[in-house]
């Protein structure tokens, strides 16, 4: 364990990796095998980029606690920026289903929701990127939004009740982290909410490769008896699961 802790320390010496939840980095480090320390550090950082940090510019991590909020603040986040054209549609779908939200892998969704005219009655967000969490916390406080945002690996948390669970582009990352985790999370969520909105990208991280349909996800939903409606919008596949 001391060896793994030393590797984690080295991984987190640089930004943006220093901003990731330490327990999450530790879990990633314990799963990755390599021939030497240098290779292991590279592989861990590559995994963290794939799961989390690649959606924001490095400059964000250097001054996230000082960045002033504006109408364009949320556009720093790649996934949110890509969703610009469809947020009005998505906000209307959210409004139909309730007023309180639990957001897994939240990113800047709260900023985007407010920009497009919807402030949840109560919002709880989770992300493994602690810089994102602190940024969104500050935004909620300045805008007097009833919100709590936590820097945590969602496999470690006790999920509470909410009208809606948002799981946008999060399940691919969960499966990449640990196969079968999506099913375990859904088994918990379906007892806590009446509505789940999940999504997947249709393109790879670099934006070039087209990704296949997530048949495994649909089979998981079928096995859990969770009916869904699927819609494709602007490079993203949405699943509306109304329980």
Same domain, 19 and 90: no
Rounded CA separation 5/180 (Å) = 26
Q: Is 63 within the bounds of a domain?
A: no
Same domain, 136 and 85: yes
Coil, strand or helix at 113: helix
The mean pLDDT value for 211-225 works out to 89
Whether pLDDT at 226 is above 60:
yes
Say what the pLDDT of residue 210 is.
56
Say what the pLDDT of residue 211 is.
58
Q: Give the count of domains, the chain.
A: 2
pTM score of the predicted model: 0.92
Structural domain boundaries, residue 9:
2-51
Whether 137 and 64 have beta carbons less than 8 Å apart is answered as no
Q: Is 56 within the bounds of a domain?
A: no
User: CB under 8 Å, gap of 24 or more: what pairs does 136-141 form?
Assistant: 136/106, 136/108, 136/110, 136/111, 138/65, 138/69, 139/69, 139/73, 139/110, 139/111, 140/110
From the CB of residue 228, how many other CB atoms can be counted at a distance below 10 Å? 15
Same domain, 46 and 93: no
> Tokens representing 78?
């790649």
Same domain, 194 and 108: yes
The mean pLDDT value for 87-93 works out to 95
């Amino acid at each position: 364990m001391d060896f793994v802790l030393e590797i984690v320390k080295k991984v987190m010496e640089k930004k943006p990796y220093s901003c990731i939840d330490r327990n999450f980095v530790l879990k990633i480090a314990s799963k990755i095998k390599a021939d030497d320390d240098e290779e292991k550090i590279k592989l861990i950082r590559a995994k963290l980029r794939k799961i989390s940090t690649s959606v924001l510019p490095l400059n964000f991590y250097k001054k996230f606690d000082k960045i002033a909020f504006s109408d364009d603040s949320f556009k720093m986040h790649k996934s949110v920026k890509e969703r610009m054209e469809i947020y009005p549609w998505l906000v209307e779908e959210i409004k139909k289903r309730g007023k309180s939200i639990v957001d897994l892998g939240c990113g800047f969704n709260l900023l985007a929701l407010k920009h497009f005219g919807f402030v949840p009655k109560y919002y709880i967000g989770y992300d493994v990127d602690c810089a994102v969490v602190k940024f969104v916390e500050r935004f909620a406080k300045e805008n007097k939004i009833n919100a709590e945002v936590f820097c945590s690996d969602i496999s470690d948390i006790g999920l509470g009740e909410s009208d809606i669970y948002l799981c946008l582009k999060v399940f691919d990352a969960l499966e990449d982290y640990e196969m079968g985790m999506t099913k375990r999370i859904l088994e918990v969520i379906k007892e806590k909410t009446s509505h789940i909105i999940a999504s997947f990208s249709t393109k790879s991280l670099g934006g070039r490769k087209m990704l296949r349909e997530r048949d495994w996800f649909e089979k998981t939903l079928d096995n859990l008896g969770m009916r869904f409606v699927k819609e494709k919008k602007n490079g993203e596949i949405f699943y509306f699961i109304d329980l």
